[in-house]
Chain A
């Protein structure tokens, strides 16, 4: 296991302190910051498969939606008080979503390339269509989550810290995973899956575990976001491929896929741009989103962090001095 540089610890501490102070420093923007943390989870969990493992999933929003619905159903039917029901709901959401990903993973992750991508695309949309017709889940009119027992300000604060906790846990879990053998294994799968398998890695097992980790955190976020918005629409909130589903891909690539900080950076940049400029586009936001994807993917596929790494490779411990070939290589 490689030791992280000192400035990374400083960065984490800085962000952590800022995150704890934000509700008091910028109380008017607390909802925006709550969504910023949600976006970070989206980008990080997408990058776990798309960036680190080389499996482009177009349907990760599936787990987000399962989480949102599972949590809401538990809250509606359990008859417990608000916080107990929410905790139980989040737990059930995470377990159900992880179980679904483990079940699907065994079959779906056996596919490669195009087939995996299109299959996940189909999974995400199919889930939305089924939820949109299922009476138990409120069908097309969606579900309303219970009212928060306290005041508005308290509610905002509660969900801010809830999403911050999920994001923090997710970030450190992934960071730890990437530093361990597991990270090396999924990177090997990305670089050459056949060789990785020939080296004795149980590739499908690793891939399924990675997908389960992504599903776990996405489901927690789904439960939190469903309650934060207060209303779960099958196609526009829970299984919303056109917004959340696309954003997670875009943010991970924009920041630099295959790194831990790239998705965080991408989510921050994207969310900031969105909050600042989106409203000036008057309904053309989604058109701009499509154009943005094409532009970034075609002209800037390495992302911000990838570009920085190309510009200053020595900062990343990559040796470009020809006399000292074979210097330490970081990933």
Chain B
């Protein structure tokens, strides 16, 4: 517990941890928004969510090595992942949309293993990062540092989320997506091609995750096996925020980012992943307890 004493001696570190956590949280929120979209519209928990983040990150790294600045690479990554999402929908997902939960969970779990191991074979298991240095600001006499690239990444995350929200609210296709989420059968009767809506939704989710992955690659590190952590983070955020609650997703994402950063500092970095997974179990147990209390009995 030496780290707590360090924190007490230098409270300014709290600001640093909070800031880093919030900037990371913006990216978590972006990936979680994608998961909420697929969950709400298709009623599928996409266990392969984190793998699109990971693939987006690797594409960014490759682009950066080819000389394209990662920030300029974000739209390209999103486009590529959109195509991948579309392909996966056309190959597998459309067969499981209307089937039971067991099949959709296991099928996306299989896709997740497939993508993760493919990335391991193609890119290698090494830790990679995309170089995109933009300089650093110092606050409080240099006690707190902010890498500009992290600020830019959080800004891009916010902009992407905002654009997506506008798309869902205003555009024709966005309205069709929301109609399908409300009642797929009624939407079909009203002439909406729900198959196309599902395909777009799934591909959009992959694109959003790809963009999130690009932001992760330029601010932190990526490796083939980190997908599951992002799936779990997204799931946690959606469970806490609820479906179709954009502000809740943002708040939960930022909160998770900050909490994780503090835990990583206090418990040590080797326990940061353990913290995420334990937090998931705790949140689900707490949710279950709260639901149990609301259960009504006939008297």
Contact = CB atoms under 8 A, between A and B. Distances in A.
A207 to B, nearest CB: 13
A16 to B, nearest CB: 33
B117 A113 contact: no
The bracket for how many chain B residues form the interface is 35 or more
B112 A290 contact: yes
Nearest to B39: A114
A132 interface: yes
Given A107-B288, A126-B274, A291 B110 contact: yes
B284 interface: yes
A249 B106 CA distance: 9
Contacts of B292: 110
A119 B106 CA distance: 14
B288 A115 contact: yes
A242 B224 CA distance: 13
B273 interface: yes
A99 interface: no
Interface in A53-107: 54, 56, 58, 107
Contacts of B84: none
B266 interface: no
Interface in B70-96: 92, 95-96
A289 B277 contact: no
Nearest to A257: B102
B110 A290 contact: yes
A293 B110 contact: yes
Interface string A278-300: 00000110110111111001100
Nearest to A111: B288
A152 B205 CA distance: 54
Contacts of A125: 228, 232, 273, 277
B113 A242 contact: yes
A129 B277 contact: yes
Nearest to A104: B281
B235 interface: yes
A121 interface: yes
Contact of A122 (B45, B105, B280, B288): B280
A253 interface: yes
Chain B at the A interface: SS class: helix
Contacts of B113: 242, 246, 286, 289-290, 293
B137 interface: no
A122 B114 contact: no
B106 A253 contact: yes
A297 B110 contact: yes
Given A107-B285, A287-B114, A130 B274 contact: yes
B268 interface: yes
B155 interface: no
B112 A118 contact: no
Contacts of B228: 121, 125
A139 B274 CA distance: 13
A117 interface: yes
Contacts of A287: 114, 117-118, 121
Given A107-B285, A298-B107, A284 B235 contact: no
B271 A289 contact: no
Nearest to B268: A133
B115 to A, nearest CB: 7
A123 B288 contact: no
Contact of A129 (B112, B235, B271, B284): B271
B13 interface: no
A284 B121 contact: yes
B245 interface: no
Contact of B232 (A107, A121, A132, A298): A121
A269 interface: no
A123 B277 contact: yes
Nearest to A113: B101
A301 interface: yes
A301 B99 CA distance: 11
The 3 closest A-B pairs by CB, nearest first: A290-B114, A293-B110, A126-B277
16 contacts: A115-B239, A118-B232, A119-B284, A125-B277, A126-B281, A133-B268, A286-B113, A290-B110, A290-B116, A290-B117, A291-B114, A293-B114, A297-B110, A298-B95, A298-B96, A298-B103
